[in-house]
Structure 1
Amino acid sequence: MARDIAYDDIHVGDSASLSKTISEYDVYAFAGVTGDFNPVHINAEFAKDSMFQQRIAHGMLSAGLISAVLGTELPGINTIYMNQSLSFLAPVLYGDTLTATVECKEKDDAKHRIIFKTTVTNQHGKIVTDGEARVMKK
């Protein structure tokens, strides 16, 4: 069940996370929704000759997990996702378990805006996606 944390109840340093194991279905569904059928994501034979030597998930799939945390955990529902900076630092492989974490860095009380540090790590603790998000909270 999604949470709805009031702006005044969020403090610098507060954090939330969620984890998901990335399946072949997830990658194919993401390709279908976005139209990104780059063969490095969906064609095993093609991917064998890529720099990763296997299929990798879309970087934006990992970023979607950040959106899920912001929209369901912290701050939760009634959050407006305003912008996001992202750096994709490592490939996400089929079968990787990703953990997206958001941490409150600063608040703008006058505008009810919050800046979050956003990080996605794999099951080995390696950062695969790093960035910063700005949201508006009622």
Structure 2
Amino acid sequence: MLDNMPRGTICIEDLEIGMSRHLRKEVTDRDIELFAEVSTDRNPVHLDEDYARDTIFEGRIAHGMLTAGLISAVIGEQLPGHGTVYLGQSLKFLAPVRPGDTVLAEVTVTAIDHAKRRVTLETRCLVGNTTVLKGEALVLAPSRKFD
């Protein structure tokens, strides 16, 4: 299941404080397996239910960076969107994401530096009412002046 807002570009000239975009995605076993393959992170807490059952998580969990990747998708596809350059991202992982969970990834504009084309974004991911990840991103936003 994937629930997205429209994709494209919002140029810095059109951004406003408080502007927000999101996507919603169910994290599947296949997502976790593909992320393990691409990242080469094959920690058994992600892939082996028997192993994971005996950890503090008491079962398999998705890679934290898989969840963080959903933030990247919102930034790169929606806010600001195509042409955005990531400059930095802080992340705090607050709760696990499990196979079958639906993650809501949200990005909200908190500051705009028009002279430098830099935009600060509050980032967070939720599963239901539980915040599983939060952080802040700094990006270089696209501008109509550079088309």
Scaled by the length of structure 1, the TM-score of the pair is 0.97
* Superposed CA RMSD: 0.8
Which amino acid is the alignment partner of residue 19 of structure 1? Answer: R
Amino acid at match of 1:120: C
Query: What residue in structure 2 maps to residue 89 of structure 1?
Result: 94
Residue 129 of structure 2 is matched in structure 1 by 125
Matching residue's letter, 1:127: T
> How big is the shift at 1:2?
2.8
Aligned ranges 1:2-81 → 2 under 5 Å: 2-81=7-86
Identical amino acids, percent of aligned pairs = 45
Deviation for aligned residue 1:33: 0.2
Distance (Å, rounded) in 1 between the aligned partners of 2:94 and 2:117: 31
Alignment length, in residue pairs? Answer: 137
Aligned AA for 2:88?
Answer: N
Specify every segment of 5 or more residues in structure 2 that has no aligned partner in the other structure, as ranges: 1-5, 143-147
Partner amino acid for 2:11? A
Moved over 4 A (4+): none
Output the CA distance in 1 between the equivalents of 2:9 and 2:85. 12
